[in-house]
Each structure stands twice: as structure tokens, then as C-alpha cells.
């Protein structure tokens, strides 16, 4: 795990032309016509032609088949197709600034960017700090990084087309996470936060009162998400999805902002969860109107689902960017848009006591679906207590979390390894769980599962 103030990591996908040129050269050297090699590889002549022209990206198994058929070392083919060796990837992730600078200095004659090359070179040191956790056997070092920064500042410096999916629960009222309101929250004295009483021996978690927002607040909210959507759209690769937690009172403002930024609305994920929001009788008149409910009791939480438009067909986006669709639960079962869920468990809140912490049993299903081929980087620009990043770790995905509040940031740093090691049923064995089919073999939908 890397905990840093800010970081730039700019993976540049291959456009396929260099791969195609090498493929054609090796094909001709081996004496194959286009049709003959296509027959040997069991692909169409048109597909092989697109590979040579750089108009299609081959899968890893296809590269291995090509190399075997042409009896050549596959290493160059993998690199030119955009697949870096694992050890090289780790170097770039551990030394995100220094490693590119060293390469540019060593190979400046190949067109290195002068501005980067002229920057002062730093000694290579791992940019990592291992968090203390109750599960020292869990090694998450290469899977995620957490950044203490304002998400807008971070996004502006991030390279275009470098994030594959976004899963986040943003601050909807804007007011509730200002320094003044967070101070009231931590003191337990209201403000925009409704500090609930103890009921039946249980203390309810604080909830922001969205109904207190003025028209001016709502305009500011839409402006906030309009600016955010433009930056997110730039860093997201074509076909990349956004899962954004909302609430029924304000979701229309957020959805409109994302649509106006050019993102496609692909539906909503409905989290069925019984909460204590709503269902109250009239304030200070509950006895007089004891059979009246001011607002319905909330039994669901909407998550907006958006996608950056694909380049061409979904299959083209999957080949080039590893995006465009959602990962199926299994070969027989697609990902569904209604998910049964329970409130966040006490053990998770003890680990990371953020007021908006999502349960691992739910958020892992969302995160897993976000990368259709299980490859790429997930971003949570409003990390909070770290539940999204922990879920990505449990799925074996790479992820980045951004958090501006220093207390929430430290909470996430300490909590992510422990949340990631929890089994969704509440048992914790101190190890990561992505390989255990029982964790991801089914989705808690309406269909009897």
C-alpha cells in the first residue's frame, strides 16, 4: 500500500501499430500468407489483418498462440500489445515518479518529454508505508494506494484515460463534510448531522439531513458534480463505468450533471436495505397525529450507473481498454441491478467508524462487477473510511483512494487491510478471499439467493 500526498501515474495504452508491424514482419519471415497464418491460428483473415493494421488488440492467449506458431519469443509481442511484465508493473507502481524519469534519462534519444527529463532526479526509494493491522500476513502492498488530497486537485494532474472504473459515495449535501459540520459530528452535537437517540439499547449512526438544503445549496450541489463529472470523464477510459451512491432526494441533480458531461446513464443499482431514515411522525405533534408518517421509511439506496461512451463496439472496448461491460457473477448468472443488503455490521464500523461506511458484503459485489475482465484500476475519489478500496483488495483489483479529510484518511489507512480480510458473513480468517468461490459465486438479488 502506498500512502502519499499526491502521485502521478500515467499508463499509456498501446495503439497497436508497433505490434502489428512486428507481427507482419515475423509472419513474412516465417513464409506465411495472411490467410495461411489465420488458418493456423483459427481466426478470420479479417481479424488478423486488423491486428497487423493496429485496429484490434489481441488477448494474451492469442499472443501466446501467435508466438508459438511463428516460433518466436513472445516478450516483444506482449509489450508492444500493451501488456507489461508483472515485475515491470511493480516497479512503476512502487516508483511512479522516479522510474519514468530514469527511463527518460536513459532513452532520451527515443523522444522523451523534455520537461520531464529536465526535472531533478530523485534517488530510487520505495514510496510505500506498510500500515499496521491485525492481519500482518495479508500483503496488499501492490494492490492499492491511498492519497491525502483534494480530489479535484488530484484529478487535474491525473493522465487522461488512466482509470478503468469509479466506485464512490460522495458528500451529497456538501455542507455535511465542511470543517464546521464535521466538528459538530465528532462532538455529537447536531448541525446538519442528525445525531439519533439510543433505541432499544442501540445507538443509531448519524445521518445528514438533506431536507435542510436551500435552493442555493442545491444549485451549488449540481455545480459541484458538473465540475467533478468533467474531470472524471477525462481520466476514465472509454467504456469505463461509474457506480455512484445517491439518495432519492438528490439523485436527480447528480444524474443530470453526469449526463450533461457526456456520460451515458446505464441504469441504477438498487441496494435493498432497511434503515432508520424516514418513517417519523410529525415533529412535536407525534401524539396528535400518531397515524401519520411525514416521509416513507427508507428501504432502498440507489446507485447511479454511468459509462463513458465506448470507442466503437463493446467488444472493441473490451479488447482495447478492458471495459465496456460488467463482470458476470458466473457464466450462468449476469450481474443484476437489485441487490439485497444489510446495514453495515458492527465489526466493520469498529474497524473504520466512518458515518457513511458501506458493508463489505454489498460493496464487494459492486466493485467486482466494475471491471468486466478483472483488469484495470478502480478509483474512489471520496474514499472516506476505505470500504471501496478494501473491497477492491478482496477482489484482487488495483485501486486508488483519495480523501481530503486527515482524520478519515488515517481511518482508511488503518482500516483497509482489516476490512479487506473480513469474510462477508462476518468471519475473518486474516487472509484475502478473492479465490474463494463462495464469496463471489452468487449475488444477493431478488431471485431467491
Selected from 3.40.47.10, 1.10.10.10, 2.40.50.140, 1.10.260.40, the CATH number assigned to the domain covering 17-80 reads 1.10.260.40
- What is the full per-residue pLDDT of the chain (449 aa) written as tens digits? 766 554 333 334 555 678 888 898 888 888 889 999 999 998 898 889 989 988 888 888 899 999 999 988 888 888 888 888 777 777 776 676 667 777 766 665 444 343 433 333 333 333 333 333 333 334 566 789 999 999 999 999 999 999 999 999 998 655 554 555 545 555 555 554 444 444 334 444 444 444 557 788 788 888 999 999 999 999 999 999 999 999 888 899 899 999 999 999 999 999 999 876 778 888 889 889 999 998 888 899 999 999 999 999 999 999 999 999 999 999 999 999 999 999 999 999 999 999 889 999 999 999 999 999 999 999 999 999 999 999 999 999 999 999 998 899 999 999 999 999 888 654 444 333 443 333 444 565 555 44
Q: Which residues contact 325 (CB under 8 A, 6 or more apart)?
A: 239, 314, 318, 372
Structure confidence at residue 139 (pLDDT): 59
Q: Which residues contact 92 (CB under 8 A, 6 or more apart)?
A: 9, 11, 84, 99, 100
Q: Return the CATH fold of 144-173+213-440.
A: Rossmann fold (3.40.50)
Helix, strand or coil, per DSSP, at residue 389: helix
Q: How far apart are CA 285 and CA 289, in angstroms?
A: 6
Number of neighbouring beta carbons within 10 Å of residue 183: 11
**434, 440 Cβ separation under 8 angstroms:** yes
Q: How far apart are CA 365 and CA 136, in angstroms?
A: 25
Q: How far apart are CA 342 and CA 264, in angstroms?
A: 29
How many CA within 13 A on the CB side of residue 363? Answer: 32
Structure confidence at residue 137 (pLDDT): 39
Q: Which residues contact 321 (CB under 8 A, 6 or more apart)?
A: 13, 161, 164, 237, 238, 239, 240, 311
Q: Which residues contact 119 (CB under 8 A, 6 or more apart)?
A: 101
Structure confidence at residue 187 (pLDDT): 56
Domain limits, the chain: 17-80, 82-129, 144-173+213-440
**253, 225 Cβ separation under 8 angstroms:** yes
Structure confidence at residue 246 (pLDDT): 92
Which sign, positive or negative, has the C-alpha torsion 344, 348, 353, 358? negative
Structure confidence at residue 78 (pLDDT): 86
How many CA within 13 A on the CB side of residue 68? Answer: 8
CA distances from 158 to 6, 86, 152, 234, 235 (A): 10, 22, 10, 9, 7
Structure confidence at residue 125 (pLDDT): 34
Query: Residue with C-alpha cell 450533471?
Result: 257
Q: How far apart are CA 73 and CA 79, in angstroms?
A: 11
Concatenate the DSSP letters of all residues of 49-108 into one string: HHHHTTSS---HHHHHHHHHHHT--SHHHHHHTT---HHHHHHHHHSTTHHHHHHHHHTG
Q: Is the pTM of this model over 0.85?
A: no
Amino acid at each position: 500500500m502506498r500512502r502519499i500526498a499526491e502521485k502521478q501515474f500515467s499508463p499509456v495504452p498501446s495503439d497497436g501499430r508497433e505490434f502489428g508491424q512486428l507481427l507482419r514482419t515475423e509472419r513474412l519471415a516465417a513464409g506465411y500468407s495472411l490467410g495461411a497464418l489465420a488458418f493456423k491460428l483459427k481466426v478470420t483473415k479479417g481479424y488478423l489483418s486488423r491486428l497487423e493494421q493496429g485496429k484490434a488488440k489481441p488477448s494474451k492467449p492469442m499472443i501466446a498462440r501467435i508466438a508459438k506458431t511463428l516460433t518466436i519469443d513472445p516478450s516483444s509481442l506482449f509489450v508492444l500489445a500493451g501488456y507489461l511484465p508483472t515485475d515491470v508493473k511493480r516497479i512503476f507502481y512502487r516508483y511512479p515518479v522516479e522510474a519514468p524519469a530514469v527511463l527518460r534519462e536513459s532513452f532520451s534519444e527515443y523522444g522523451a518529454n523534455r520537461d520531464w527529463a529536465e526535472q531533478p532526479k530523485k534517488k530510487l526509494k520505495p514510496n510505500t508505508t506498510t500500515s499496521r493491522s491485525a492481519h500482518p500476513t495479508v500483503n496488499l502492498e501492490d494492490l492499492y494506494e491511498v492519497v491525502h488530497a483534494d480530489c479535484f486537485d488530484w484529478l487535474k494532474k491525473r493522465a487522461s484515460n488512466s482509470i478503468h472504473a469509479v466506485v464512490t459515495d460522495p458528500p451529497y449535501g456538501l455542507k455535511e463534510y465542511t470543517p464546521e459540520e464535521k466538528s459538530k459530528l465528532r462532538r455529537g452535537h447536531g448541525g446538519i448531522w442528525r445525531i439519533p437517540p439510543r433505541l432499544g439499547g442501540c445507538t443509531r449512526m448519524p445521518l445528514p439531513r438533506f431536507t435542510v438544503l436551500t435552493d442555493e445549496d442545491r444549485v451549488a450541489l449540481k455545480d459541484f458534480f458538473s465540475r467533478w463529472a468533467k474531470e472524471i470523464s477525462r481520466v476514465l477510459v472509454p467504456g469505463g463505468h461509474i457506480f455512484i451512491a445517491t439518495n432519492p432526494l438528490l439523485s436527480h441533480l447528480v444524474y443530470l450533471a453526469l449526463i450533461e458531461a457526456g456520460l451515458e446513464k446505464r441504469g441504477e443499482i438498487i441496494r435493498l436495505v432497511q434503515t432508520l431514515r424516514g418513517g417519523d411522525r410529525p415533529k412535536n405533534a407525534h401524539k396528535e397525529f400518531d397515524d401519520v408518517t411525514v416521509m416513507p421509511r427508507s428501504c432502498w439506496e440507489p446507485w447511479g450507473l454511468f459509462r463513458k461512451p465506448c470507442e466503437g463496439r463493446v467488444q472493441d472496448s473490451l479488447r482495447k481498454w478492458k471495459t465496456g461491460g460488467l463482470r458476470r457473477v458466473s457464466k450462468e448468472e449476469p450481474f443484476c441491478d437489485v441487490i439485497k443488503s444489510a446495514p453495515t455490521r458492527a465489526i466493520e464500523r469498529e474497524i473504520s467508524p466512518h458515518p457513511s461506511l458501506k458493508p463489505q458484503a454489498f460493496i464487494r459485489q459492486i466493485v467486482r462487477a466494475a471491471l468486466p475482465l478483472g483488469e484495470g484500476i478502480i478509483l474512489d475519489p471520496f474514499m472516506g473510511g476505505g470500504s471501496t478500496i478494501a473491497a477492491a483488495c478482496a477482489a484482487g483489483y488495483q485501486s486508488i483512494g483519495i480523501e481530503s479529510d486527515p482524520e478519515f484518511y488515517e481511518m482508511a489507512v488503518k482500516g483497509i487491510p482489516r476490512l479487506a480480510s473480513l469474510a462477508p458473513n462476518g468471519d475473518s480468517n486474516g487472509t484475502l478471499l478473492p479465490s474463494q468461490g463462495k464469496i463471489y459465486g452468487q449475488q444477493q438479488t431478488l431471485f431467491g439467493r
